[in-house]
Structure 1
Amino acid sequence: MRTERNLTRSLDRVFARLDREPERPAHIDVPRMSRHRVVLFTATLAFYLAIVWAVVITSWLVRLDWQVMFFRPYQQWPQIHAFLDYYVVLGQRGPTAVMVAAWLGWRSWRQHTLRPLLTLAASLLLLNITVGAAKLGMGRLGPHYATVIGSNEMGLGGDIFPSGHTANAVVTWGILAYLASSPRARRWLSALSAVTSLGVGLTTVYLGTHWLSDVLLGWAAGLLILLALPWFEPLITMAETALFDLRDRWRARRGRTVPAPAVPVTPSPVLLKPRPAERAAAPAREPVRGSRAPIHLAPGPHTARSERTPVTPAGSRRPPHADRLPRGTSQPARPLTGN
């Protein structure tokens, strides 16, 4: 019971803290393609091409790949095999995309903007296009399907080069650093995403599903996508504006109602009540002494209550009086007695 109360208080504090956050943070800046970023993009692209060239010419990097494969890390350290089987999920496209999309979706709802989700969608689209094209274009086989010892296994119909797990880990976790709201958070998240992605890549080498050169090329491929994202910011802004315009038109179409034709009704002068302003403007009438409010009577002749004779089924209850005259008629004056 006490644990539930403490948990409830903790959740209340968290939601209270979230409620105090600004809905539209104005200090979030959109990264631009600065000179520093251009230099990093050029250096990473050169590293990417150097890895590809080293594998194509079957250089020392290919010999290193075979040495690591024959070393069989999963047999050298079997005690960490179960843990790394779960850790490698951090590089799978489906689970990581769902986790990061949930977080960025909450940020989009909180900040009333679609930019986080659209940036994630653009980065994943670039990842699928570039890495998928490189995999199919080079067609390298993995360690488990290698045919000739010492060869680069290129052009044999494989899809292992570059490593998709490593590139996906770089892009999916690096997008959090790209969308960070402060330079300090961006630095910390960049370092964390770099370590996570390299760990995912080395885990694939440990499991024997990738060459070491696959991991290096996958890391470079994911970093190129993150560095090139500022070039796509205008397209992301245009897409966000178009989606908001579409939402506004949809809301306007749903809120538009066709009014029914009004039937003219003539108000009755008896039931019509004057408005307060008309009451104040109307001249006050002097009350007439002895006047009464109009009484709505039933149609036909009407007699006063005093002139009615109560009638029962057996007849009248009053005894007949010969000398009684109906009320309203003048009676003869009586003679005065005395003086």
Structure 2
Amino acid sequence: MRTERTLTRLDRVFARLDREPERPAHIDVPKMSRHRVALLTGTLAFYLAIVWAVVTTSWLVRLDWQVMFFRPYQQWQGIHWFVDYYVVLGQRGPTAVMVAAWLGWRSWRQHTLRPMLTLGASLLLLNITVGAAKLGMGRLGPHYATTIGSNEMGLGGDIFPSGHTANAVVTWGILAYLASSPRTRRWLSAVSAVTSLGVGMATVYLGTHWLSDVLLGWAAGLLVLLALPWCEPLITRAETAIFDLRDRWRARAPVGAPAPALPVGAPVLVEPRSTAQDEAAAHEPASVSRSARAPVYLAPGPHTTRAERTPVTPIGSRRPPHADRVPRGTPARPVTAD
């Protein structure tokens, strides 16, 4: 009795990966809803409040100095090695390469440039906003502080807001922003929030950032993610322009160049046959039509039928010679009695 093999989870994963790429029929693009506008407004107010608290040397600056004098990297030395590796999740280069690899694979599988263009737009917004704030406020970090109790603003530093924290929020949050289902978006939002929270606390532990730097970095990254729906029309126009440029480049291909292969499932245009061609095919002899068509299991190319092949006769006999054996085709000798 023949039974079918039960597919394992790994077999199903590879079967899913082997499918032809296909563009989703409907891509869920986040809209700038009232809820998102309210979150954007609240985050912007929090951002401005942190800046004002640091500029006016309020209680937040005193908390920064208390945490710095506490020196967490000396209090918990056993986790120093782990924090050194964990803080890499907020560095722009490694995280951008990892996320771009995943989104590039998604772009290829779905025949859309939106994931890569969205990542590029978010990183561009992040570099412009956070970079301008860093250079504009010029705050020095804990390791380069000059006066105890001061806010260290306007001294040529580039520490406020925390770039590691803002980059962790945007880079890992973009995965939740581009999620294909609400459930996946919720899970990825929680994972990105925990990751960015850990990266911010890691910079405070190592003493490279003030606590207020991390708070402003979280707000700066969240502002970029919340403002991304305003960039969606520009992303759509950029994708359309890139695909139009690709089509024009393919149309200028030289004569005789091989045509690009069509993906599986793409519509194929078939030229309609005229009535005269149908009548000629109907009156065509069966032997001619069968010999003209090659079987589907043969490779493409000219093939000859069995009747047209030259018969091949073996040279000599495969049997060993025998004195009493009569060759085939010779008349039998009459048997006479002696």
Q: TM-score, normalised by structure 1?
A: 0.72
**Superposed, which structure 2 residues align to 1:31-180 within 5 Å?**
31-180=30-179
Task: Give runs of aligned pairs for residues 1-339 of structure 1, distance below 5 A.
Answer: 12-19=11-18, 23-256=22-255
Identify if the C-alpha distance between structure 1 residues 221 and 256 changes in structure 2 by more than 3 Å, giving closer, same or farther.
Answer: farther
Unmatched 5+ residue regions in structure 2?
Answer: 1-7, 258-279, 284-338
- Quote the offset at 1:22 in angstroms: 7.3
> Hey, what's the Cα distance between the residues in 2 that align with 1:112 and 1:118?
13
Letter in 2 for 1:53: W
CA 1:233–1:146 in 2, change beyond 3 Å: closer, same or farther? Answer: same
Aligned residue-pair number: 254
Deviates more, 1:229-238 or 1:249-258: 249-258
Unaligned stretches of 5+ in structure 1?
Answer: 1-8, 259-276, 281-339
Q: Deviations over 1:228-284 (max 9, x none)?
A: 0000000000000010011111111124459xxxxxxxxxxxxxxxxxx8xx9xxxx
Equivalent AA in structure 1 for residue 253 of structure 2:
R
Task: Please tell me whether the aligned partners of residues 91 and 197 of structure 1 are also in contact (alpha carbons under 8 angstroms).
Answer: yes
Q: Does the CA contact (< 8 Å) of 2:123 and 2:170 recur in 1?
A: yes
Aligned to 2:147, the other structure's residue is in SS state coil
TM-score when scaled to structure 2? 0.72
Q: Deviations over 1:173-220 (max 9, x none)?
A: 000000001111111111110110010000000000000000000000
**Structure 2 CA distance for aligned equivalents of residues 67 and 33 of structure 1:** 40
Q: Distance in 2 between matches of 1:194 and 1:76?
A: 26
Q: CA RMSD in A?
A: 2.0
Q: Which amino acid aligns with 1:114?
A: L
Q: What amino acid does structure 1 have at the position aligned with 2:142? A: P
Report the counterpart of residue 268 of structure 2 in structure 1: none
- CA shift, 1:28, in A, is 3.0
Give the 3-state SS of the residue equivalent to 1:254 in structure 2: coil
Residues 198 and 31 of structure 1: CA distance in aligned 2, closer, same or farther (over 3 Å): same
Q: What percentage of residue pairs aligned between the two structures are identical?
A: 89
Return the offset for 1:11. Answer: 5.2
Does the 8 Å CA contact 2:165/2:196 hold for their aligned counterparts? yes
Query: Considering only CA atoms, is the larger Rg found in Structure 1 or Structure 2?
Result: 1
Question: How far does the alpha carbon of each residue in 1:73-102 deviate from its partner, in whole angstroms, 9 at most, with x for none?
Answer: 000000000001000000000000000000
